[in-house]
Structure 1
Amino acid sequence: MTADWIKTLPQAAQDFLEGRRLDEVECIISDLPGIARGKAVPASKFARQTYFHLPDSIFYQTITGDWGEAAGDEGFIERDMILKPDMSTATAAPWTGDWTLQVIHDAYDRKNNPIPYSPRNVLKRVVDLYHEKGWKPVVAPEMEFFLVARNLDPAKAIKPMMGRSGRPAAARQAYSMTAVDEFGPVIDDIYDFAEAQGFEIDGITQEGGAGQLEINLRHGNPVKLADEVFYFKRLIREAALRHDCYATFMAKPIAEEPGSAMHIHHSVLDVETGKNIFSGPQGGETDAFFHFIAGMQTHLPSAIAVIAPYVNSYRRYVRDHAAPINLEWGRDNRTTGIRVPLSGPESRRVENRLAGMDCNPYLGIAASLACGYLGLLEEERPDKQFKGDAYEGEEDIPREMGAALDIFDASEKLHEVLGPEFARVYSIVKRTEYEEFLQVISPWEREHLLLNV
């Protein structure tokens, strides 16, 4: 890098460092679950390096730290990858004790080919497929999460955090400003951290669960937005820890409360004209709009294993409990899995309400865009628009991880979009994880089966 490389950083990072001496750079990359992996290096060393190495085995690791047998024919030799920084992602780590930057890296092999099962590369692959067709995908994610009391014993149920009033956070207070005020100190730190990192929050609202909040982000480039969600998860966790509570992105952390989703809004622009291909010259809905919805209805079942990646994810899909149970589509209808929000022609979009907040943001957005992309290619029509309460309809999504993986494994079309090698590795790692879960005896089994069967 050049001697004045700091002057080339994004403006927010330059502002953060103004009048200060940079101490450290965290070189990070997302693994399959979305955990930041990497190395922290002194700023002086980072200025001299153009890449660093990590073993490819970080992508074979389960959420428990075990390993899937996904290394391929050569065996588990932990070959080094070449990780190159994307300096456009350089941003502050404002919670640290010294002056630290984070930089997201991309993974390549020795021949400079992108590692196909690196989540950021998977999303880039899908975006490139859109670009090859003359389309520019645009997304806007919504992030739901819970602020909960510290929990040091996994055997104990998760409880809502203690609010500013000294009372536990209350449920069923959706959109209440008083409820938001209960978490005021945590939210203040979230805003401060986001500002230091150069992120624009579109709004924070109280959701229906006890201690459940939602942050909306402005629409934009899918890779950039996935980077922000990746960063935000860490940011929010750090803000919560400052106030003696945890932030959790589990899909269903509290049994009696609604789950946490990462709703994804999609639109597609024509690269040449910049116009939304979902709207015609007179502002009406186009064939492409309906094809995109049809792709969602046809291919989302195959993608559920990616957008609902853990056994806990399927506890969120409960009838009449704020999460969809089928693939119906409707206009301004929050009971459907695929919703068309109120909007003008320029901002006409399709919302996927099935993705959980526990999914890797790169993979969740990639899988969702892949379904719409296949719909645009196949040019099918969706089912008739659903009117009324979609919870009264039949369930048509898998209800547990094993079934979801079976459907994922059978979908060659989805594999071709996301990448066959990614699909192979992902399935092996997730099946290993599922088998780990099946070895655990739950409190329910001990309570009801120990002396009764």
Structure 2
Amino acid sequence: MGKAIKTGDIVASDNKTDWRESLPDAFKEYQSGRRIEEVECIIPDLAGMSRGKSMPYYKFSPDSTFFLPISLFYQTITGEYVDLDIKNQWMEYDVVLRPDMATASAVPWADDVTLQVISDLETRDGKPVAVAPRNVLKRVLGLYTDKGWRPVVAPELEFYLIKPNVDPNEPIEPPVGRTGRRGAGRQAYSMVAVDEYGPVIDTIYDYAEAQGLAIDTLIQEGGAGQIEINLLHGDPLVLADQVFYFKRAIREAALKNGTFATFMAKPMRDEPGSAMHIHQSVIDAKTGDNIFSAPDGSETAEFFHFIGGSQYHLKSVVPLLSPYVNSYRRFTAGMSAPVNLEWAADNRTTGLRIPNSPPIARRVENRVVGIDTNPYLAIAASLACGYLGMVNKIDPSPAATGEVYEEGAVLPRSLNVAMDEFNNDRTIQEILGVEFCELYAGIKNAELEEFQREISPWERQHLLLNV
């Protein structure tokens, strides 16, 4: 992971015809001379799902002003609105959508030719909306820029293909493949297992190509119907946008083939959870050199300090990496997910793994992130921890030897405990933005209260008549 790869750059012009002509090549190939019918201006919400406005093509211009109410950030994952300590909260003032034309992409599952564009959010006087996830990531990247650094990331996306689950009271089941049999777990790296869901995989590839999204590798993971897609390394904002687009495309590809794709962290009791591992390195913005490696190929102080900051601060940002009560079910014994913040070379039992690589690609893999995260917030949080380690020269613990499970710094095992860590780390809050952190904490606390009111099937099964 040496120099960052920047993709999708286009120049938006003032003239409506010009902006259409400057759309990415992938979209033009998908368009194939057909007329654009619709444009979607979208943003990622706190959960990482798309919100926005759809309009006929003739109503859109990159220079047009579109609005959304700020209150879309005041909702829990269930859609409930939360009273927060915000002055005049329920005035629900509008914020401005600013389309980032570098993100223009096809919507290949739409019936008509449709363009989607990720937008930034600003106040009416042009200031970034502090609680918008894309702006949180930009804030952290700005800190790196000020130091003359440019971080590089490569996310890995794990998810499950499942039998359509239309009754939430019923357990989730693996899908039926081409053989007519249900998927079986423990088949990691099996090409037969990948072929079992060939039509879905083919559709994912088709949608990715139409959107100009590059896939590095695709494998069968350890769970029944569990797939992993690895993305090429590059600029963190570009990669966060790609994860945002990929999640939507994967869901649509599954639906087209009569199945569901889920990014729930732990959808099935006896199958492993799904992660979003993040590979991270940092390059010198002037030279393009990886600052984790010295000229002689050895590790640098910055490399060790990045690890040290990750060990010291990652516990505080766990609510951004594992944002729901279900997220912590992934940290179940024997289910592959590390529950520690130890580090070591080529050791998948540690939360921080140093993959085998030449010095130019030396990197730190954060293995504790769940796939249910918002990619903008997870990447921002992970990079913020490494940044603090480098600027404050935090030394890591000695590298772990052998298998590591719950030794050393152990992750919080519930959202309640994780929120306590999050609320008490003022340094992290300053890095990510106090306004964002206070809003995020309010939403997570409200979700916890909602969940506490629920009675699970396990409680009815084992407590109803036995206590």
Q: Same fold (TM over 0.5)?
A: yes
| Pairs within 5 Å for 1:384-403 | 384-391=398-405, 393=407, 396-403=410-417
In structure 2, stretches of 5+ residues that fail to align are 1-13
Q: In structure 2, what residue type is equivalent to 1:123?
A: L
Aligned 8 A contact 1:57 1:71 in 2: no
Equivalent residues of 2:137, 2:376 under 8 A apart:
yes
> For 1:72, which of 81, 86, 93 is the aligned residue?
86
**Candidates 282, 287, 292, aligned match of 1:273:** 287
Instruction: Provide the residue aligned with 1:225 in structure 2.
Output: 239
Task: Identify unmatched segments of 5+ residues in structure 1.
Answer: none
| Pair 1:117-2:131 in alignment | yes
Deviation, 1:8, is 1.5
Secondary structure of the residue aligned to 1:224 is helix
Output aligned runs, 1:310-325, within 5 Å: 310-325=324-339
Report the 3-state secondary structure (helix = DSSP H, G, I; strand = E; otherwise coil) of the residue aligned with 1:14. helix
What's 1:2 paired with? 15
Instruction: Work out which of the residue numbers 334, 341, 346 in structure 2 matches 1:332.
Output: 346
Residue equivalent to 2:5? none
**Matched residue SS, 1:391:** coil
Other-structure match for 2:3? none
**CA contact 1:69–1:429 (8 Å) conserved in 2:** no
Question: 1:135-154, aligned counterparts within 5 Å?
Answer: 135-154=149-168
2:279 maps to amino acid: H
Q: Distance in 1 between matches of 2:40 and 2:406?
A: 49
Partner of 1:180: 194
- SS at 1:390 equivalent: coil
| Secondary structure in 2 matching 1:29 | strand
The alpha carbon displacement at 1:48 in A equals 7.6
Cα separation, 1, equivalents of 2:188 and 2:30: 35
Matches of 2:328 and 2:225 in 1, distance apart?
21
Contact (CA 8 Å) 1:60, 1:71: kept in 2 or not? no
Q: Which residue of 1 aligns with 2:11?
A: none
Q: Which of the residues 437, 441, 444 maps onto 1:430? A: 444
Residues 71 and 110 of structure 1: CA distance in aligned 2, closer, same or farther (over 3 Å): farther
**Do structure 1's residue 95 and structure 2's residue 109 form an aligned pair?**
yes
Aligned-partner Cα distance in 1 for 2:278–2:233: 10
1:296-319 per-position Cα deviation (integer Å, ceiling 9, x unaligned): 100000010110000000000122
* Post-superposition CA distance 1:356-386 (Å, at most 9, x none): 0000000011001011011011102100100
Residue 443 of structure 1: aligned partner:
457
**Alpha-carbon distance in structure 2 between the residues aligned to 1:47 and 1:327:** 47
- Secondary structure at the aligned position of 1:235 is classed as helix
CA distance in 1, matches of 2:278, 2:63: 36
What are the Cα deviations for residues 226-279 of structure 1, in whole angstroms up to 9, with x where unaligned?
Answer: 000000000000000011110000000001000000000000001111100000
Asked if the contact 2:321–2:373 (Cα under 8 Å) also holds between the matched residues in 1, the reply is: yes
Paired AA for residue 412 in structure 1: R
Aligned position for 1:302: 316
| Matched residue, 2:255 | 241
With 442-451 and 263-272 compared, the bigger mean Cα shift is at 442-451
Summarize the Cα distance change of 1:126–1:325 in structure 2 as closer, same or farther, 3 Å threshold.
same
CA contact (8 A) 1:310 1:401 kept: yes
SS at match of 1:389: coil
CA-to-partner distance for each residue in 1:24-79, whole Å, 9 max, x for gaps?
A: 00110011001100111000001385220000011111110001223611232111
1:261 aligned residue (242, 265, 275): 275
| Kept after mapping to 2: 8 A contact 1:277/1:286 | yes
Residue of structure 2 in register with 1:82 after alignment:
96
Given that 1:279 and 1:289 are in contact with CA atoms closer than 8 Å, whether structure 2 keeps it comes out as: yes
Q: What value does the CA root-mean-square deviation take over the aligned residues?
A: 1.1
Q: Deviations over 1:100-148 (max 9, x none)?
A: 0100000001111000010000001100110001100000000000000
Aligned to 2:28, the other structure's residue is in SS state helix
Tell me if structure 1 keeps the 8 A contact 2:265–2:327.
Answer: yes
TM-score (norm 1): 0.98
Q: Does 1:421 align with 2:435?
A: yes
2:62/2:101 contact within 8 Å kept: no
- Distance (whole Å) between structure 1 residues aligned to residue 62 and residue 218 of structure 2: 40
Partners of 2:415 and 2:359 lie apart in 1 by 38
Identity %: 57
Distance in 1 (alpha carbons) for counterparts of 2:20 and 2:217: 31
Is this contact kept in 1: 2:339–2:406, CA < 8 A? no
Give me the TM-score of the superposition, normalised by structure 2: 0.96
Following the alignment from structure 1 to structure 2, what is the Cα–Cα distance between the partners of residues 385 and 393?
12
Q: Whole-Å Cα distance in 1 between the matches of residues 403 and 334 of structure 2? A: 9
- Write the letter of the residue equivalent to 1:37: R
Q: CA deviation at 1:394?
A: 5.6
Offset, 1:3:
2.8
Of the three residues 25, 30, 37, the one matched with 2:44 is 30
Distance, in Å, in 1 between the alignment partners of 2:220 and 2:293 is 32
Task: Name whichever of 4-13 and 356-365 sits farther off.
Answer: 4-13
Paired position in structure 2 for 1:408: 422
Residues 328 and 336 in structure 1, CA contact (< 8 A), matched pair in contact too: yes
Partner of 2:7: none
Determine helix, strand or coil for the equivalent of 1:151.
Answer: coil
Q: 2:230 corresponds to which residue? A: 216
What's the secondary structure of 1:427's corresponding residue? Answer: helix
User: Comparing 18-27 with 442-451, which one deviates more in the overlay?
Assistant: 442-451
Give yes or no for contact 2:68–2:97 (8 Å, CA) kept in 1: yes
SS of the residue 2:292 aligns to: coil
Whether 1:349 aligns to 2:363 is yes
In the alignment, is the contact (CA less than 8 A) between 1:140 and 1:218 conserved in 2?
yes
